[in-house]
Structure 1
Amino acid sequence: MEALISPFLGVDQAWMSAATFPPHPHAGFSAVSYVFLDSETGIENRDNIGTHNLIRPGGLHWAAAGRGIVHEEVPAEVGKTVHSLQIFVSLPSNRQDSEPFALSLEPQDVPVVHLPGTKVRVPAGSFEDTQSPLNPPTDVTMLDISLEECVELAVPIAAGHCAFVMPIFGTAMVDGQSFSLNDLRVPVFPVQSTPRTITLQVPKGSAKVMVFAGPPLQSSAT
């Protein structure tokens, strides 16, 4: 599976209302936190390189661990729930032992593309002619897509990029196949030499999905 979704090492969807990620180390890859807009509060983030910031709903924090970083993430307000993704991304081999650093993107700086019945937030990479201002150490695209009933959206994937779709809520059709949060697998699109499009549809109700894409990397990160 890793070969199919590289440069992504893993993605975890989390709802937390208490301290869930006490101080813990990473090395050799990037740990990315993306907080959904429906979160009741943000994440208070701190690390051993001097970062201490609030990841507000709709915002993103990218910790490039390099040779090693220790960070901690807790809900900013006691008793309120954070809905977020923890995304682990390979670093290029020549950056896996580099000095760690952190990047942040505030909610208001995440570009948004509005189409009929569709909203696409672009925290990383690009969608159509819209580019995220984030300049991460690994070339990836992350799209937060909200779809209303009976809407169809074509998502372009560049040649040489793999991609996968992660359902967040609701049921969506991905290239004609139905997927929801309860499914044990996600739609994966291996690298191909020509550009392609992924077609998203919502037959009933509304749905949210994340689309991840990027060129594969070889990584020895652990």
Structure 2
Amino acid sequence: MTTIARMQRANRGQQFRAYRLHASDPALLDPFIGIDHAWMSAPTFPPHPHAGFSAVTYLFLDSETGMANRDSLGTRNLIEPGGLHWTAAGRGVVHEEYPAVTGDTTHLLQIFVNLPRDRQGNAPFALTLAPQDVPVVERPGSRVRVPLGRFGGVHSPLTPPTDVTLLDVTLEAGGELDIRIPAGQRAFFMPIHGSAELDGLSVGLDDLGAPILPVDDEVTTHKLVAKAGAAQVAVFIGSPLRQPLFSNGPMAFASQESLIAATAAYQRGEMGHL
């Protein structure tokens, strides 16, 4: 049975607002930990640690500027509108990102993806995908960007440590799109603009509803429809890791002992500095 999760609004002053999807039961989103659909127009979060999972930033094409990204690995880059940056934190990294032009608004997804237990203690690394390298599938009434994973015969060039799919779906008014979910995989849907229907269920910012499909033993196909005007929806798909989750916010591990050890390592400065 499809579950309708409710996103929560989150604001930090005038420069940051977001809709957050963080399930009270981690199994509902597994292998994802949580998603922030956000708008940011000025530096908002100071440098902070991550460990045990991956922090992924995807900028929508309507962003007015890019995101300046840096970390304690020495990464310094600009995430351009339409591009994606994946930070696999592993045993720990210090990270910061902010709009490249203060006052211009970035429109983004901040995606937190769990790492398989046997990779949570690995060395951190980063992956970057430029906007022009994101595969696009054009169909009557719809356009799908595929920054992660696969759809409609195309495949993202990235090979991340957790195999997940992210689809940025744009539907014209009256447009329809069939989305195939592989057997054994989790899928959920977040509204970005306008409102759509998934198998007759609302996907819209008016009610903050985000449908989460049950994991099925067989391949299933689901229909997205934009009935009341154009719509944009983000689709998340991945195989559940089915492992414990212990988190203090910026870090998440499969054991309490690993979480405590990573926290101590950060306090000793072992995750580096910016």
| TM-score of the superposed pair, with normalisation by structure 1 | 0.97
Partner-residue secondary structure (3-state), 2:160: coil
Contact 1:161 1:191 in 2 (8 A): yes
**1:167-214 superposed Cα distances (whole Å, 9 cap, x missing partner):** 001010011112212323310012111001121001121000000010
Cα distance in 2 between the residues matched to 1:138 and 1:192: 20
- Tell me, yes or no, if structure 1 residue 52 matches structure 2 residue 88: no
Amino acid across the alignment from 2:245? S
Amino acid across the alignment from 1:124? L
Instruction: Give the alignment partner of residue 30 of structure 1, picking from 48, 54, 73.
Output: 54
**1:149-178 superposed Cα distances (whole Å, 9 cap, x missing partner):** 111110111001010000001010011112
The equivalent of 1:209 in structure 2 is 233
Instruction: Give the alignment partner of residue 87 of structure 1, picking from 101, 106, 111.
Output: 111
| TM-score of the superposed pair, with normalisation by structure 2 | 0.79
The equivalent of 1:18 in structure 2 is 42
- Tell me, yes or no, if structure 1 residue 139 matches structure 2 residue 163: yes
The equivalent of 1:189 in structure 2 is 213
The equivalent of 2:67 in structure 1 is 43
Contact 2:70 2:97 in 1 (8 A): yes
**Displacement of 1:74:** 0.7
Cα distance in 2 between the residues matched to 1:145 and 1:112: 10
Quote the sequence identity (%): 60
Contact 2:202 2:209 in 1 (8 A): no
Partner-residue secondary structure (3-state), 1:194: coil
Cα distance in 2 between the residues matched to 1:182 and 1:32: 26
Unpaired runs of 5+ residues, structure 2, are 1-24, 248-274
Partner-residue secondary structure (3-state), 1:133: coil
Instruction: Give the alignment partner of residue 140 of structure 2, picking from 111, 116, 123.
Output: 116
**Displacement of 1:13:** 0.9
Amino acid across the alignment from 2:138? H
- Tell me, yes or no, if structure 1 residue 166 matches structure 2 residue 187: no
**Displacement of 1:219:** 4.5
- Aligned CA-pair RMSD: 1.0
**Displacement of 1:221:** 5.1
**Displacement of 1:79:** 1.2
Amino acid across the alignment from 1:179? V
The equivalent of 1:220 in structure 2 is 245
Cα distance in 1 between the residues matched to 2:149 and 2:214: 18
Contact 1:47 1:72 in 2 (8 A): yes
**1:53-97 superposed Cα distances (whole Å, 9 cap, x missing partner):** 000000000000000111100100121000001000000110001
- Structure 1 residues 5 and 21: alpha-carbon distance in aligned structure 2, compared to 1, 3 A threshold: same
Unpaired runs of 5+ residues, structure 1, are none
Contact 1:172 1:201 in 2 (8 A): yes
Amino acid across the alignment from 1:7? P
The equivalent of 2:173 in structure 1 is 149
- Structure 1 residues 182 and 2: alpha-carbon distance in aligned structure 2, compared to 1, 3 A threshold: farther
Which one has the largest radius of gyration?
Answer: 2
